[in-house]
Structure 1
Amino acid sequence: MPQRFGRPGLLGTIARTAVISGTATAVSNRVEQRDMRRRAAAQAPQMPAAPAPAPPPAPAGTNRVAQLTQLADLKTQGLLTDEEFATEKARILGS
C-alpha cells in the first residue's frame, strides 16, 4: 500500500477529532469537578474547633505555682487558647 503525504484521509481526520474531543472533555470535567469541590468547601458550615480538654482539677493542697507552670506548658504546646489559659489562671488564683 503506498504511503500518502499531505492532508490526512478520512480516518485520520476522524481519529484526530476523537482525540481532540476526548482531551477537551477530560479537561472540562476536571475543571468542573474542581469548581464543585471549591463551592462545596465554601458552602460547608465552618465547624468550630473542639475546645481543648481542661486540665484535670488539682488535688487539694497542690502548689499554685506548679499549677500555673503546668498551665503555661499546656499553652506553650498549643493545647490551650489564650482565652482558656486566662480562665484557668483565674480559677487557680481564685479571682
Structure 2
Amino acid sequence: MPGLIRGVARTAVVAGTATAVSNRVSRRQQGRWAAQQGYEAPSRQSAYAAEPPAPPAAPDMTSKIEQLKQLGELKSQGVLTEAEFEEQKRVLLG
C-alpha cells in the first residue's frame, strides 16, 4: 500500500510540474512566432487604453508556494528522495 501511495503522489507531482512547464513553453513559443512574423498579437489593453494596467498576477507565486509546500510534505513523508525533491524544486522555480 505505501508503494501505491508513493506512486500516486509522485505521479501527481510530475503531472503538475509537466503542466506548468508545458504552459511556459507554449507562451515562449507564441512569443517567438510573433517575433518572427514581425508583429505582436493585438492586446486587450490597446483597445482599452484609458484603463489602468492590471496588477501583477499574485496567484502564480501563490501556486508555486503551495506546490513547494506539497513537495516538502512528500519529502518529509519519505515519498520523494532528496534528489527527486531538489529536481522537482528546480523545475518548479525554473
Which band: TM-score by shorter chain? 0.3 to 0.5
**Bigger share in helix:** 2
TM-score, normalised via structure 1 length: 0.39
Relative contact order higher in (CA < 8 Å, ≥ 6 apart): 2
